Amino acid sequence: MDTKYMERALELAKKGTGYTNPNPLVGAVIVKGGKIIGEGYHEVYGSCHAEINAFKNATEDVKGATMYVTLEPCSHYGKTPPCANAIVEKGLKKVVIALGDPNPEVAGKGIKILRDSGIEVVTGVLEEKSRKLNEIFFKYITTKLPFCILKTAMTLDGKIATSTGDSKWITNEESRKYVHWLRHRVSAIMVGIGTVLQDNPYLNTRLDDGKGNDPIRIIVDSNAKIPLESNVLNIKSNAKTIIATTELAPKEKIKEIERKGAEVIIAPLSNNQVDLNFLMKALGERKIDSVLLEGGSELNCSAIESGIVDKVNAFIAPKLIGGRKAKTPIGGEGRNLMKDALRLSDIEIHKFGDDIMIEGYLRGE
């Protein structure tokens, strides 16, 4: 029964996807007399946490009930009061928790408050599912660096465009819908200046229901070559645009970009390009907890070599286009020996119509 109710709590947690960053996705279920009497989830960053919403939605007195929650109840005052204290005040007899809070400053303190108050606490129920659900939060809260997802799309023969540069569309509509869901899920999307010059994208979120948050748009542009008429500098969106450049950029061009309403981050040079590790730190300081990298082959290579990539979502379409000059997903010099190839771990394969997506993690090998 613990697994059953925790599964429900995880389903509730997912409803907050895209709205709680940089907070975690959390769901809570209150059970009494063998039935669910209250449910809630963390809906929007800065609003009530899952536990409080479950109390608000309870259909009867929760005293003596059991709560199932996907993450350790908070024990500190942030934008809202501590949930652990609220649980004690409500008189619950038992709390089942998927996993502890990874924040080094608060880890275990919520559980201690509950146990010190005589509440039975069970931990580790569907722990790995909860951890994966909040993989973005886990990295950001422990390192203050964004979780970076490298997304690529290629044909069966490994091409991201034809030899003429045409790339619309490699994958099918179902795959592209999932990518827009990813854009909604993360805080920011990052591309290189080459993508802007080639495609002039909007880098916004387009879901079927018209909902979804636009990610912050980050353009890696070492020389500030971006045209002022580019869509990313003129789009009407609640999300801002950030241009990451270097000392190579003309000062007057930087001022012109800022007059368009974009933020400019001047990063140190690394191999005559934007230092991506510096950029990730700067983004983390701005509470940007996650980045979807939809770069071209050169930016993808730089990101991998810089060690900023955590996860790869590689879409493969059943198409063949050939061409010696047609680009592949990862550029640069590449590895000289097969034994030096980077390997993905924890592989999952997903199907979107005729397309497949290979999902895996780069663990810093």
Q: Catalytic site residue 51?
A: yes
* Tally of CB atoms within 10 A around 42: 27
Contact 199/301 with Cβ under 8 angstroms? Answer: no
Contact 13/69 with Cβ under 8 angstroms? Answer: no
Whole-Å CA distances, 287 to 118, 145, 186: 37, 9, 12
Contact 26/141 with Cβ under 8 angstroms? Answer: no
Residues forming a β-bridge with 154 = 316
Buried residues in 263-285 as b, exposed as e (16+ CB within 10 A): ebbbbeebeebbbbebbbebbbe
Query: Which tokens belong to 216?
Result: 């912050």
Q: Which of 7, 11, 39, 51 is catalytic?
A: 51
What whole-number distance in Å separates Cα of residue 302 and Cα of residue 83? 42
First to last CA, the chain: 39
* Residue count (the chain): 365
Q: Give the SS3 label for residue 87.
A: helix
Just list the catalytic residues. Answer: 51
